[in-house]
Structure 1
Amino acid sequence: MKRLLLSVALAASSLAPLACDLEKTGNQLAADHVMVGTLLSTPQVDVSASALAGYDAGTFGPDGGDVISLPAQTAAAVFLGTRSGENQQPSGVPGASVTVLPVDGQATTLTEDGAGSYSRTSVGEEGFQYQSGATYQFIAAQGGTRYVGQVDNAPVKETIAALHPPEGFLRIDASSALAFDRVAVAEGQDRTLGFVTVVPLSASGAQGQPTYTNVPKTPLQFLQLVGLPGPYREARVTIPGTAFPSSNQTYLVIFQAVRLGGAESDNLFLGSALLAGTAEVGVVRTR
């Protein structure tokens, strides 16, 4: 475990500016505490009730008269752990006070979920909204010590034209793969990471359990992402057919454009993974 985390940290340090503070980097390489954090936003989505019910006449335009609106939501999650010991995963640190905030903005306090995990959503919290372009800090305080991770320049929504055909939703055969191209980036700039989640919708618009996601699931997988982000930066995204297993079913395709940040304070491990991003959403109806 220590060898793997060290390789992740070395990969992260190779991406740092040449003028970085070598003493700070050395402290972060030796730090025992590690943080994984995400701040992800999804916009409001308008879905045709007719299409959800399986009627071909359903539309998604403002004049369709049968639109169900799924509200926008912002969600934050943080894992604070230590990388001592021989476990395959970092050991969670309970009892911390954890906040997420845009620099010079309003802080949102996360709720402790246990085992070093903390989270919050914007449901019932009007002040907790994702801000494109903001620099976000993830702050955990325990016993008078603060651990700070940071993501600079939170990305704007990446518009995927293929997810918005004139009909308003895509029609594909059940169990068929779906591929689309991401927006081109300017020369010399890194593409943001791209995460995909596919969720089935009931006739009433209720979301089921995801049928597919490439979002890392464990703290260790997020840490590995720091060293190997390449697969998430591919220009073409392919969703396997297993994501659309049922016929006559409506699915949401949620594509998150995410920027990767890392440790900001000296006492946080250099390989910490902090991510912020916002989603583009398409609707798929299977035959």
Structure 2
Amino acid sequence: MKRILLSAAVTALLLVPLACNFDQLLAEKVMVGTLLSTPDVDVSLVAMAGLDAGTLPDGGIPPGEERITIPGQTEAFVFFATRNGEQGTPQPLSDATVRIEIQNGGSLALEQQSEDTGMYSLTSDHGDDAGVKYVNGATYNFVAVHGGNSHVGQVKDAPALERLEALHPAGGYVRHAANQSLTLTRPTVSGGKPLTLGFVTVLPLDMDGRKGALTYTNMPKEPLDFLQLVTATGEWQQETLTIPGSAFPLKDSNYLVVFQTAQLGGPQSDNLFTGSTLLVGTADIGLVHTLE
């Protein structure tokens, strides 16, 4: 993710919006940031073993059934840099003070990851960041203070969890053939409003609940991909999502499918470059067990 966001900052410099704040267009400072959340997930050992658990009640796994809980996670991340001319590569700024302000929800101070990287983060599973929370509908301000000046990016109306029914069948998990694609349908938004951005990530899960290296994601990876994200969001606003069969390579195995819905934001203060890109969102998660 950190490499992805660094690439995004480079991409931001290539953008020439049709209409923008002129001061922001000339601003030297650029910011790329995310605050992405996933909920706790209860997984029954029956489901992980691929056994026929029967029909579970709407409340989820029946009381007394052996299960494990995969802790939720909220990760905040900011890359902050300065541009050297219109075509220059952004140079990381590692002497800033970075925080995220949540509307009616306090402030989160991000920690510098290492010197000379311009990267600042806070993650909810590290034990030192109990304040990392996700609030539906809130406005998030990403603030970097450098040289006595505050540089502010903003994301409004943080989206609520978007539940994909295909990830939550009556049996509690999805039984699926290995190496076969899986199509998910997003719920219709009322009032004719456009869908939020939607990203899918798949990663294996062992019997102890440990997550492995991801097998698929449609999150942007390269500069041109992030250019599409900012200028042509429609690719991530489709009503149906098809996960390729390669995301489920092994038989009799477990995979977590994470559907992240996110709101896109940008610069708020005049001293932050107009190409700055910010994402805030939360996720729905389902368990897929591949058949033998």
- Shorter chain as denominator, the TM-score bin is 0.7 to 0.9
Residue 50 of structure 1 aligns to a residue whose secondary structure is: helix
Separation in structure 2 between the aligned mates of residue 129 and residue 162 of structure 1, nearest angstrom: 27
Q: How many residues align?
A: 276
- 1:81 Cα shift? 1.7
1:29, distance to aligned residue in structure 2 (A): 0.8
Q: Write the mapping of 1:1-287 to structure 2, written as runs, cut at 5 A.
A: 5=12, 8-10=15-17, 13=19, 25-57=21-53, 61-63=61-63, 65-84=65-84, 90-114=90-114, 115-123=117-125, 124=127, 125-217=129-221, 221-222=225-226, 224-287=228-291
* 1:255 aligned partner, one-letter code: F
The CA RMSD over aligned residues, in Å, is: 2.5
- How far does residue 221 in structure 1 lie from its aligned partner after superposition? 4.5
Q: What is the Cα deviation at residue 88 of structure 1?
A: 8.4
Distance 1:174 1:56, change over 3 A: same
Per-residue deviation, 1:270: 1.0
Using the alignment, how far apart are the partners of 2:52 and 2:289 within structure 1?
10
Q: Return the offset for 1:100.
A: 1.0
CA shift, 1:126, in A, is 2.9
Note the C-alpha offset of 1:204.
0.4
For 1:247, what is the secondary structure of its paired residue?
coil
Deviation at 1:281, TM superposition (A): 0.6
Q: Which amino acid aligns with 1:8?
A: L
**CA 1:3–1:113: 2 relative to 1, 3 Å:** closer
What secondary structure, in the 3-state scheme, does the structure 1 residue paired with 2:113 have?
Answer: strand
* SS at structure 1 position matched to 2:161: coil
What TM-score comes out, normalization by structure 2 length?
Answer: 0.86
Counterpart for residue 18 of structure 1: none
For residue 226 of structure 1, give the secondary structure of its aligned residue in structure 2. helix
Q: 1:219 to 1:134 in 2, by over 3 A?
A: farther
CA contact (8 A) 2:12 2:276 kept: no
TM-score normalised by L of structure 1:
0.88
Over the matched positions of the two proteins, sequence identity in percent amounts to 47
Task: Give 1:187 shift.
Answer: 4.2
SS for the counterpart of 2:79 is strand
User: Whole-Å Cα distance in 2 between the matches of residues 200 and 89 of structure 1?
Assistant: 36
Tell me the amino acid that sits aligned with residue 61 of structure 2: G
Q: Secondary structure of the equivalent of 1:8? A: coil
Distance in 1 separating the partners of 2:90 and 2:228: 12
